[in-house]
Chains A and B, each alone.
Chain A
């Protein structure tokens, strides 16, 4: 059956997108203030803070924030700014670990895992120090099926569950917490953070940019352009069901290892619509894209470093291999993901130069790039709402 594109997608707009959204420093400042500082942000994996005392540190340098997430003795997750209350030095220096308390290396102020200031060397020489108010500065933290999120705002407007909406439920359909075998890649790319998100939320580029690696899997006689089967929109988030070519003939080694791992050809994923999807894609506002397949979940995080510099980090979650066959099949998936990603790294690295060149004032999105357009629209709305809020606050003052 021929796969067609939903003609109603034009409801999200048809206009070209101003290039300033991707390369203006002023626009980026607005994104920081009105988007990143006011929304739940992906911060890591809950399995890294599974036991009391486990902690991890997540850097948001572009927001001048370093956040420590810790599992308390009461098993509760807490997050704090990684800043000592004495002279505001960095408190925790290791990326992850287990601790009974945190001691600042500068003057050894000590904090318990609840963030309370618990010990001050030579305390008697401070002047009326209010130790109760010198605890670590807390930050909202929560998890969604093993994925950790923090919120830098003083008081999140909504819970993580409400923020993720239907995606929260959908995430729980997958046994992520049991998929504890992780493959992780990273690359710093000279490109705006949205370009990386966009790359993983449209299939239009696959027949071309991935012509060598995965074209044969992703296009076929029924679907020569590899259209997604369905697009979905959940408030600020978005998703699509990915089609794959049922006539794809695996390569010799691929056939052997995938058969051995119990993975034969393109196996469709349990879909709500019972269509022939092999992968769900979820774009989580603002900077995460999830690819969910029956065998692994891949999470792309696009962490801004500057308006034109981004740390792309991707983690693939697999169930722990129980057999040699499964282990080899997982290695095939992992190596393929790495090698496909390398193709993306090449093309993505060229975008910012083009955007800054002044050659064009706009970029173009077609119908199947609607998820990219949806992100742009939602960023724009969040910024406008934030500016409005600031104006009202100024008026009120």
Chain B
């Protein structure tokens, strides 16, 4: 079971109003983000989704202002939050009411290797 929240790094100032979501979702690996999705109610997932969607493109543009291989720590935290948004979007936009039964099957898949950073 993923921890409810953890001490995530700070988000860039422009996105600091999302810090409470970052504490839950800005996890460094796909496996941890997925675990958090499976352990979190869809209502809570939607709170994150609804809060982030209006500024999601803005966040990607902000990250694009740095060279990809030289993201400062706060920008990396924001990237992790974006990656979590991608995972959560499958639950909110695609699976919807089917997320629960689907999650039981998803637990049977083990991730051996994932995209880095």
Contact = CB atoms under 8 A, between A and B. Distances in A.
Interface string A325-337: 1011011101110
B60 interface: yes
Interface string A180-194: 011111110000000
B111 A185 contact: yes
B115 interface: yes
Q: From DSSP, what is the main secondary structure of chain A's interface residues?
A: helix
A254 B63 CA distance: 18
Q: Assign chain B's interface to a size class.
A: 35 or more
A275 B24 CA distance: 45
A208 interface: no
Nearest to A214: B94
Given A323-B68, A334-B114, A185 B109 contact: yes
A323 B71 CA distance: 11
Contacts of A318: 115
Nearest to B112: A184
A328 B85 CA distance: 10
Given A253-B89, A345-B105, A324 B60 contact: yes
B115 A334 contact: yes
B109 A186 contact: yes
Contacts of B90: 335-336, 339
B51 interface: no
B108 interface: yes
A212 B102 CA distance: 10
A251 B89 CA distance: 9
Contact of A212 (B34, B56, B87, B98): B98
A322 B69 CA distance: 8
Contacts of A182: 113
A339 B102 contact: yes
A164 to B, nearest CB: 25
Contact of B115 (A313, A321, A336): A321
Interface string B10-48: 000000000000000000001000100000000000000
A338 to B, nearest CB: 6
Contacts of B106: 338-339, 342
B64 interface: yes
Interface of A: 181-187, 212-213, 251-254, 256-257, 260, 313, 315, 318, 321-325, 327-328, 330-332, 334-336, 338-339, 341-343, 345-346
6 smallest CB-CB distances across A and B, nearest first, come from A253-B89, A184-B113, A251-B93, A184-B112, A342-B105, A342-B106
